[in-house]
Structure 1
Amino acid sequence: MKRHVAWACLAATFAASAATAEIAPMDVKFTDTGAVTESLTGQPGDSTKGAEVAATKSMGNCVACHVVSALDAPFQGNVGPELNGAADRWDEAQLRGIVVNAKHTFEGTVMPAMYKTGPFVRPGDAYTGKAAPADLPPILTAQQVEDVVAFLMTLKEE
């Protein structure tokens, strides 16, 4: 009897970890239009944490290029489109694709891929002028991507 319980617990643990397995940056699947239909984590995003990522320089720093009226961040940029009303213009899968790697949706964009580990063109080691010493990590984690998407889904036209 104890073996059956142990196997059941092991199977349940394995099933739970498989259900929440994170999709690695190189395994993300894009549609023909650049959308990413599958959650990167299997967990819902937290819009409050997503707002923090979008407004924080050391994280996503979305406000460096985009205006987001919902954020109390100084010096918001105007390089990218305003994100006010983003949820009215794009659906969740499209927003996830844009955050992961906007080049799949907008070929000539200067927006960096937030969830990519390569291949890169001439990746550098900060501002040293030297090549990167190792593989570069993604700018955001998979859960941070989901959090930013959850935040963007709250940005509706008023």
Structure 2
Amino acid sequence: MRVGFKLVICALLAFPHPLYAQLIWDGDAIPNSLSGQPGDPTRGKSIVVSRQTGLCILCHSVPSTEERFQGNLAPDLRISVGNLNAAQLRARLVDASRSQPNTIMPSYYRIDHLHRVAPSFAGKTVLSGQDIEDVVAYLLTIKTP
């Protein structure tokens, strides 16, 4: 009975967790939603300006917000998202290092091949798939034509 139980556990561990299922990349983009749901730009903005969740505001300045002490380490978000479509924005949030190997931007949805991760955060994404979709929806609203 114990051997059978161990085999079941091993079989379950062999399958990727649905949340971390392999992403389908198309060049520098991830065309499919990570959550299967549309993003909410209002919720996305709250993630972007949060100093506890998205942390974007630590490095980027964010247009149309009253948040104090916005970052200047990275470009204004309007510039960062300027020529990118939703699929490219999604990919940058998932793993910016795929398009810019020397970036200091964190990988918000990647869980493998990371360095110096606190044990309590190992195997966990920074943002959920729906969080990523919400941020993408918000970023699309601030793009300048």
* Residue 145 (str. 1) matches residue 114 (str. 2): no
Gaps of 5+ in 2: 1-16
Secondary structure of 1:150's aligned partner? helix
Q: How does 1:86-101 map to 2 (within 5 A)?
A: 86-101=80-95
State the identity %.
33
Q: How does 1:73-112 map to 2 (within 5 A)?
A: 73-84=67-78, 86-112=80-106
Paired residues of 2:63 and 2:142 also in contact (CA < 8 A)? no
Aligned residue pairs total 129
Paired residues of 1:47 and 1:151 also in contact (CA < 8 A)? yes
CA–CA distance in 1 between the matches of 2:136 and 2:121?
Answer: 29
Paired residues of 1:66 and 1:81 also in contact (CA < 8 A)? yes
CA–CA distance in 2 between the matches of 1:76 and 1:53?
Answer: 14
CA–CA distance in 1 between the matches of 2:106 and 2:21?
Answer: 15
Relative to 1, partners in 2 of residues 1:154 and 1:86: Cα closer, same or farther, differing over 3 Å? farther
Larger radius of gyration: 1
* Aligned-partner residue type, residue 56 of structure 1: S
* Aligned-partner residue type, residue 23 of structure 2: V
Secondary structure of 1:102's aligned partner? helix
Paired residues of 1:40 and 1:142 also in contact (CA < 8 A)? yes
Partner of 1:9: none
CA–CA distance in 2 between the matches of 1:150 and 1:63?
Answer: 17
Gaps of 5+ in 1: 1-21, 126-131
* Aligned-partner residue type, residue 59 of structure 2: C
